[in-house]
Amino acid sequence: MNPWEEYKAKNGVTPVDLLRLKSQTIPKEKAEARYVICITCPFFQKMTKQCLKCGCFMAAKTKLDLATCPIGKWGKYPEDTE
């Protein structure tokens, strides 16, 4: 497995998915709930709003349907859980 495949397996998405217009997004309320979980996490970098585990910009990543938290605090459908 190459590094991008490993990254996608761990996070559900890659940084490129954040830029794709065809990437599936979730309802605003669900994305906001994910983001609240992120900002209370010790791996959240407040200055850049990035996750220190995956390096993603969380304001964008939390909106993607297939995205997952690298430490399992929230994940894929049908329901995110902490």
Nearest-angstrom CA–CA distance, 10 and 45: 19
Map out the domains of the chain as residue ranges. Answer: 3-61
Q: What is the pLDDT of residue 14?
A: 77
**Among 27-31, 51-55, 72-76, where is mean pLDDT lowest?**
72-76
Instruction: Please check the confidence at residue 74 and state whether its pLDDT lies above 90.
Output: yes
Confidence at 62, pLDDT banded by 50, 70, 90: very high
- The predicted model scores a pTM of 0.77
Instruction: Please check the confidence at residue 15 and state whether its pLDDT lies above 80.
Output: no
Q: What is the mean pLDDT of residues 19-47?
A: 90
Q: What is the mean pLDDT of residues 34-54?
A: 96
Q: Looking at beta carbons, which pairs linking 16-22 to residues 24 or more positions away fall under 8 Å?
A: 17/64, 17/66, 17/67, 18/56, 18/57, 18/60, 18/61, 18/64
Cis peptide before 27 (omega within 30 of 0): no
